[in-house]
Every structure is written in C-alpha cells, then in structure tokens.
C-alpha cells in the first residue's frame, strides 16, 4: 500500500502550524459541522463506526472510550491529551504538534463536545520545548479568533485548553500515572477500576486520548466514518503514523493504512536496510513490544495482525535491527531502560526489573552462569500481569521474546563471556 496523507497532508506546507494555513486547507470545518448540527451521541457513534483505536499504544476503541463517560454527571468533565510521548522508538506526536497543532486542537474540541467537557489539558513531556512553543502559539491564535474560550465559533460552546508540562518520567505516559502527574503529584499509576471515564482528573469523569488519535477525529467527521474504516482492517480503522528508526536508510515518520505490512514499511517507505545489509530483527510497536525475527515481517501493522503473531502494534515505533546487531546488547539496553523507569510502586516490577538488569549486567561483564538465561525468562514470566500498570509487562515482554527467539546468542554470551558477534564485526571492519 502507498503511504496516505491524512494528518500528514499539510506536513511540508509553509507555515502549516499557523491557523490561517490550517483553515485554508479545510481545517476547523469539522468542528463547525459538529457544533452546528450534530448531537454528542452522533459524534460518538461516528467515531465508533470509524473503528479508530487508541494510537498511543493500547489500541482501545476511541468511540467506546468516549461512550463510557457518564452523561448525567453533574461534575466537571475533562479531556486530557496524552502528549507524553516517551515509548522508546516513538516520535510521531512530536511531528504532529510541530506541523499541525491546530489539527490536534480541532480534535480536542470535538472530543470535548462529545463528552461534555469544558476544560482540556494537554499533558506534554517536558523535553518537547519546541512543540510546546508551537502549541502555545496555536492556542493563542485559537483564542484570538474565538475558536477557544467562552463561546467557540460563536456556536454556544465553552472550552478552555491548557498545557501541562511533564518533567521527565516514562511512567507518566500511562494514563492514570499521567492523571496523578496532572494533579501535581509523583506519577504513580492508579488501580483500575474506577476507570478515568468515571473517576479521572481531579476525581471527575475524564477521557485520556493520545495526540495522534485525537488528530484523526476531525478527518473522520469531515470525510465520514465509512471512509476511515475502509482504509483499515476489520477491527482497526484507517491509518496510523509509524515512527521508523534504527538501521534503515530513511528513518522518519510514515503515515500508512493499517493493512500495510512491516516489510513494505521497512523496504519501500524507509528505504531498506542501511549499507545493503540484511535485516535481523524488528521491534514493531515501541520498545515494550515483543521482538520479531526477519522472516516475520510480512505482517500488517494493525493491532490484530501483530497480536496474532504474539507481538503488539503498540505506539507504532518500528525499531529496525540489521545483521550486525548483538541481540544480547540490544536487550541489555532495553532492560536498563525499564529498570530506570520503573516507578517503584509494585514489587514485581520494582524488584523484577532490578534483577533482570543485574543478571544482564553480570552476563555482559563475562560473569554469567548457565542458569541465567532460564532465570531471565522465568523472572520476566513472573512479572507478567502482576502489576498495577502495564510497565511490568512492558519490561517482561521484550525479555521473553528476545530470549525465546535469539536464545543461542544469550547462551553464547554466558558460555564465552564475550560477544562473538561484535568481535566478528570489529575484525571485519578493521
């Protein structure tokens, strides 16, 4: 499948981040259509029919999520945008906020109307200084035009949008940790239920959506749910923006339909493997998704296809590894990441990520013992499903998949106390 241009259609257009340019290219028509003639229920129904799913990683159907917000609640309701993009290998939301911040704002407006929210917070990771400036400018432009504030578009709806700047914690990308952080606290995930739809920000009904997910909403309203659904697969509507990194010729973002295979993404869109080398492995959905071997890439990038082969579509962060990659070394890096980012709340994750790291450190230092490989797998399996939030699973899944699929490399490291692959590569280069 060719690339599609939906959210990315204005990328590369001069000043695409400015309100007049966005509007000249059809922007802010969807919200006008919504406010001037659609009921909130009709908006939710349209998003349900589009089969739009959460593109931050969980893949939860967006329309369904919105429908869980109680309609009769007298409490304030909130839309919270997850712009805490932190899953290693993922950078698409940064492109959206830099290039088309008004597209995101329009999505926020529609979501707010659909659930009856009059306040929205964009939870933006602190390191994204330039995206913050773009969003601040876009929000100011929208207020100045009357597109945000007391009576948006003159159509009788009130909406305020604020940016909340995060401070460097991977865990805050998890929606309940994000809500804690929005409330000014350390980002410790909450037990669910209650789900944010009923008890979210400040104890009130809340919808938390990813930047990209919300950015598709105006396009769905404008062009119709059937159009969007038909681009995708049976249960994953439309398209998504993949972030491609690692050993490809053209790392970057690629907006593709959900039926596009990883092979097409890697070899056609991203230009294939650097220096004509062979593909060894791919992490398809950010660093927490189980790794795939080279022969497994004829798989659609949609949620169900990747789940059916034991991995996950996650955040769409496609990390490509060529034949020179030491899989022990790659996993060692990933294990260090989760050990650093575990928030410390749940014992299996706090202790498990530490154990995994220490075993990997030991093998890396040439002091591995034969049972280490089985122990890595066993510790990871014991973490799975035993924590409040998915970080424990996110740390366990790479370990299990790397060990299962590349076991010989791990055993070789333990046996020889060094990396024969890197040795070979070094000799070949010198």
Verify binding: residue 166, other proteins, rule CB under 8 A.
Answer: yes
- Residue among 79, 169, 207, 211 that touches other proteins (CB under 8 A): 169
Which one, 133 or 407, has the nearer CB to other proteins?
133
Min dist. Cβ of residue 28 to other proteins (A): 24
Residue selected from 30, 142, 282, 321 as contacting other proteins according to rule CB under 8 A: 321
Q: Per-residue x/- mask for other proteins, residues 89 to 108, rule CB under 8 A?
A: xxx-xx--------------
Site mask for other proteins (CB under 8 A), range 325-344, x = bound: x---xx--xx--x--xx-x-
Name which of 85 and 372 has its Cβ closer to other proteins. Answer: 85
Give the three-state DSSP class for 130.
helix
Which residue number, 59 or 89, has a Cβ lying nearer to other proteins? 89
164 binds other proteins (CB under 8 A): yes
Q: What are the two backbone dihedrals, phi and then psi, of residue 246, each rounded to the nearest 5 degrees?
A: 95, -145
Q: Does 147 bind other proteins (CB under 8 A)?
A: no
Q: Which is nearer to other proteins, 30 or 171 (CB)?
A: 171
Q: Which of 367, 370, 355, 375 is nearest to 418 (CA)?
A: 367
To which H or E segment does residue 402 belong?
A: helix 391-405
CA-CA distance, 40 to 68, in Å (whole number)?
13
Strand partners, 208: 80
Which region, judged by CB under 8 A, interacts with other proteins, from 44-52, 140-148, 166-174, 407-415?
166-174
Task: Give the one residue of 243, 342, 345, 353 binding other proteins; rule: CB under 8 A.
Answer: 243
130 touches other proteins by CB under 8 A: yes
CA distances from 319 to 89, 247, 248, 404 (A): 6, 8, 9, 19
138 HSE (CA, 13 A, CB side) = 32
d(CA 37, CA 17): 28
Strand-pair partners of 126: none
Q: Which is nearer to other proteins, 71 or 185 (CB)?
A: 185
Q: Which one of 107, 187, 232, 314 is in contact with other proteins (CB under 8 A)?
A: 187
125 binds other proteins per the rule CB under 8 A: yes
Backbone φ and ψ of 164, nearest 5°: -115, 120
Shortest Cβ distance from residue 421 to other proteins (Å)?
14
CB of 61: closest distance to other proteins in angstroms? 26
Q: Which has the closest alpha carbon to 195: 66, 55, 87? A: 66
Q: Which of 42, 140, 144, 167 binds other proteins (CB under 8 A)?
A: 167
DSSP state of 153: T
Please report, as residue ranges, which positions from 369 to 428 form the binding site for other proteins (by CB under 8 A).
none
Q: Which long-range contacts (CB under 8 A, 24 or more apart) does 420-423 make?
A: 421/324, 421/326, 422/326, 422/329
CA distances from 244 to 212, 223, 250, 269 (A): 16, 28, 8, 9
Q: Which of residues 26-45 bind other proteins (CB under 8 A)?
A: none
| Contact pick of 13, 21, 165, 384 for other proteins (by CB under 8 A) | 165
Q: Which stretch binds other proteins (CB under 8 A): 65-73, 101-109, 319-327, 400-408?
A: 319-327
- Is 150 an interacting residue with respect to other proteins (CB under 8 A)? no
Alpha-helical segments (H) within 274-366? 303-308, 327-341, 347-364
Measured CA to CA, the distance from residue 150 to residue 365 in angstroms comes to 62
SS3 339: helix
What is the binding site for other proteins (CB under 8 A)? 76, 85-91, 93-94, 121, 125-130, 162, 164-170, 181-187, 202, 243-247, 251-253, 283, 287, 317, 319, 321, 325, 329-330, 333-334, 337, 340-341, 343
């Amino acid at each position: 499948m060719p690339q599609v241009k939906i959210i990315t259609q204005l990328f590369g257009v001069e000043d695409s981040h400015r309100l007049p340019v966005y509007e000249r290219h059809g922007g802010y028509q969807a919200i006008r259509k919504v406010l001037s003639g659609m009921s909130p229920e009709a908006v939710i129904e349209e998003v349900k029919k589009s089969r739009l799913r959460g593109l931050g990683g969980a893949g939860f159907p967006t329309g369904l999520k919105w429908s869980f917000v109680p309609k009769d609640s007298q409490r304030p309701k909130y839309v919270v945008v997850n712009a805490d993009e932190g899953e290693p290998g993922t950078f698409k939301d940064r492109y959206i906020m830099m290039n088309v911040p008004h597209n995101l704002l329009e999505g926020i407006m529609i979501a707010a109307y659909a659930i009856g929210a009059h306040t929205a917070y964009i939870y933006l990771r602190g390191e994204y200084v330039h995206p913050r400036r773009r969003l601040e400018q876009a929000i100011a432009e929208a207020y100045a035009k009357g597109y945000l504030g007391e009576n948006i578009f003159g159509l009788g709806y009130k909406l305020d949008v604020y940016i909340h700047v995060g401070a460097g914690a991977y865990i805050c990308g998890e929606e309940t940790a994000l809500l804690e952080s929005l409330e000014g606290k350390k980002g410790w995930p909450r037990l669910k239920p209650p789900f944010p739809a009923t008890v979210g920000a400040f104890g009130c009904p809340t919808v938390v959506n990813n930047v990209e997910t919300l950015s598709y909403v105006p396009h769905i309203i404008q062009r119709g749910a059937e159009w969007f659904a038909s681009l995708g697969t049976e249960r994953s509507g439309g398209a998504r923006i993949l972030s491609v990194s690692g050993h490809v010729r053209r790392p970057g973002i690629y907006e593709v339909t959900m039926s596009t295979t990883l092979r097409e993404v890697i070899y056609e869109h991203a230009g294939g493997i650097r220096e004509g080398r062979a593909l060894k492995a791919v992490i398809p959905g950010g660093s927490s998704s189980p790794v795939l071997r080279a022969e497994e890439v004829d798989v659609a990038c949609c949620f169900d296809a990747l789940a059916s082969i034991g991995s996950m579509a996650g955040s769409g962060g496609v990390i490509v590894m060529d034949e020179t990659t030491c899989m022990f070394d790659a996993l060692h890096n990933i294990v260090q990441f989760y050990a650093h980012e575990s928030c410390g709340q749940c014992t299996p994750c706090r202790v498990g990520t530490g154990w995994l790291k220490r075993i990997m450190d030991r093998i890396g230092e040439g002091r591995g013992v034969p049972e280490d490989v089985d122990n890595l797998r066993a510790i990871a399996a014991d973490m799975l499903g035993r924590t409040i939030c998915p970080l424990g699973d996110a740390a366990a899944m790479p370990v299990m998949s790397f060990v299962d699929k590349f076991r010989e490399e791990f055993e070789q490291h333990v046996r020889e106390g060094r990396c024969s692959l890197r040795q070979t590569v070094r000799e070949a280069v010198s």
